[in-house]
Structure 1
């Protein structure tokens, strides 16, 4: 029986039908897009048609008015089938949340209905050559467009832009106009038709092949009101919204991929045990299955706890950037990126070469392993540990979120 024909856990809640439809499309094309390292256009089309691109858009703008937990539900469900498709969705939703929370009314009223209608897939442009993983600094600078009053001119190269070749719009971090310091960073929105876009290099990675995270140069002129938040205050956007939702969304996608791998292995093992006494006698196998499940339950518990803390902070007006909160958010990313990959390694050891290592195995463990290997590199774990060391010193009482 094929994976798509089996009973599958739905996302649950209000958006289960749209999620199942998007997941079915992802299942249909996952092998093709992985083999060719091509963007899952059909999945994006389904996300548009089903309204899920507008999941985080408030209902007053025509969106679905989804919650953070619902974003995580959909991300986990998509991750069970294809991590690239899941991350494309989750990262779009991170950008949408930044617009919802930080954009001034003129931009929000213009942009959010387009997102809700499925016409605006947003890509993130925060990487930059020469700065490593320093998210809160920028080299390229916005400037006044001398030919168009009130417009901003941008010229920005980014070595990695997930889905950028297919995006309808971009949220771009750049040094604020006339700023002298590299940490005076602004976040601006630019429509595709406001830019000249040049792709460079090839995208032929080990895993995450369908994310199509190519290098782009973006040049153009945008109206001055297309700033998300205040000029030079990108740090506030990151600490309040982009950072927490990035780590939550990524972690949900990774958890979904590892959970999908475990589910496929368990179904295969149960089918192989039929005709015997229905039991698996290998104690080593059972121990490895237990360990994999333990890892995933740990990540899931941390994911839901972190989501509850972030939601409570947003609803109660408390500061999510307090050291204890930031330590928790970073710990989620670190733990999920490590434990989900290790769970798949456990499964490969459990089922051996034939079903754990071969590309044509129905378990698809080989693909899950390749895809999840990127997780510790997606904003480097080493850099996060350095940041957490500083944050730990600021919380000498070791308080918990």
Structure 2
């Protein structure tokens, strides 16, 4: 964590990929955290993933999100790839050879099930031609392979979406947009154009049935891991703020107003942590029973986690900035990185829009008339 934290300010300032931090994760086997031991990986749990993502985010949230999204893709392979693809790819991930990026955002917006680009059969019937433009690809220029959503070539309804594994060696990759955002600057999430040819056995899950992979793996892992990253960054910032009170932050510790402001920050973080842990337990329990979390109440719990974590962690850091004041809370050169964490967490509600999730949760709530709360 020391190495990750050491480079956090620099990679944020320069909006560059955290190559040093990712190299350390490769060397120490963390790209294979969710790879089962039989393939040489750590065989980690979801609870362990949440804990490690929190710790990483406390040092550098961009690095944590890059790693968490890689693990999200790995989980899709572990649970839905065919045996040949698993045998070929998972040991290489475990050894640190393959960092996976996600290409699931379309030019029409961030909806997972909406893709404009279609897979087409190449002259060799065993091959598929892939051409995909994506406005946001986290770490895409540095990835060794990708999981890409495409319209299925055999589905003419426009609704069938497939997920396909594509090695960098099989693609021509071209940058089609720059990355100079407010926060999350080191995620290097610029727009890319991918073109190439892949074998049909690179499909992850059944053709045209990415929705099943998404509900079983991509969405649960995304909401759990993102929420852990946001909480970890806010928690570390709060710890730093508490250590600076009476030093660089000149406020009266005995003031009821100061105490109330500190309490409200703590309450927000406690609520996110409790809901995150309980949701993680629920998803792990479903998996232990061999069941998919494709029920209205479980979707509601996952959506609620993402919405609550994104809003409450940002609110907590906003309150920290207010309490720390202009010199410490609003300065990029302050001894605690409140300014950077504030910018990073502003993206949380936009990373798969809360507006979309609230609409979906309203529809799902109408289907869950028994109101099965977490």
**TM-score, scaled relative to structure 1:** 0.91
Partner SS for 1:375: coil
**Is 1:183 aligned with 2:156?**
no
Partner SS for 1:292: helix
The CA distance in 1 between the partners of 2:352 and 2:72, in whole Å, is 15
Correspondence for 1:197:
173
Deviation, 1:181, is 2.3
Deviations 1:110-137 (A, max 9, x none): 000000000000000001112x232112
**Contact 2:249/2:328 (<8 A) preserved:** no
Deviations 1:56-98 (A, max 9, x none): 0000000001000110111000111111010000000000000
Correspondence for 2:305:
332
The CA distance in 1 between the partners of 2:292 and 2:16, in whole Å, is 40
The CA distance in 1 between the partners of 2:187 and 2:291, in whole Å, is 35
Q: 2:54 aligns with which of 76, 88, 112?
A: 76
Stretches of 4+ aligned residues off by more than 3 angstroms? 270-274
Gaps of 5+ in 2: none
Correspondence for 2:270:
297
Correspondence for 1:265:
241
**Contact 1:133/1:383 (<8 A) preserved:** no
The CA distance in 1 between the partners of 2:50 and 2:64, in whole Å, is 10
Partner SS for 1:173: strand
**Contact 2:106/2:114 (<8 A) preserved:** no
Deviations 1:185-216 (A, max 9, x none): 00000000100000122111000000000101
Q: 1:170 aligns with which of 138, 142, 146?
A: 146
Partner SS for 1:157: strand
Correspondence for 2:5:
27
Correspondence for 1:280:
253
The CA distance in 2 between the partners of 1:280 and 1:312, in whole Å, is 43
Correspondence for 2:373:
400
The CA distance in 2 between the partners of 1:142 and 1:265, in whole Å, is 51
Correspondence for 2:285:
312
Correspondence for 1:52:
30
Cα 1:85–1:65, aligned 2, differ >3 Å: closer, same or farther? Answer: same
Correspondence for 1:221:
197
Q: 1:92 aligns with which of 70, 86, 93?
A: 70
After TM superposition, list the pairs within 5 Å mapping 1:383-394 onto structure 2: 383-394=356-367
The CA distance in 2 between the partners of 1:209 and 1:234, in whole Å, is 29
Partner SS for 1:206: coil
Q: Greater CA deviation, 382-391 or 317-326?
A: 317-326
Coordinate RMSD, CA, aligned: 1.5
**Is 1:354 aligned with 2:354?**
no
The CA distance in 1 between the partners of 2:22 and 2:342, in whole Å, is 24
**Contact 2:171/2:197 (<8 A) preserved:** yes
Deviations 1:118-169 (A, max 9, x none): 0000000001112x232112221111111x3401110000010000000000
Correspondence for 1:140:
117
The CA distance in 1 between the partners of 2:207 and 2:3, in whole Å, is 40
Deviation, 1:178, is 2.6
The CA distance in 2 between the partners of 1:173 and 1:319, in whole Å, is 21
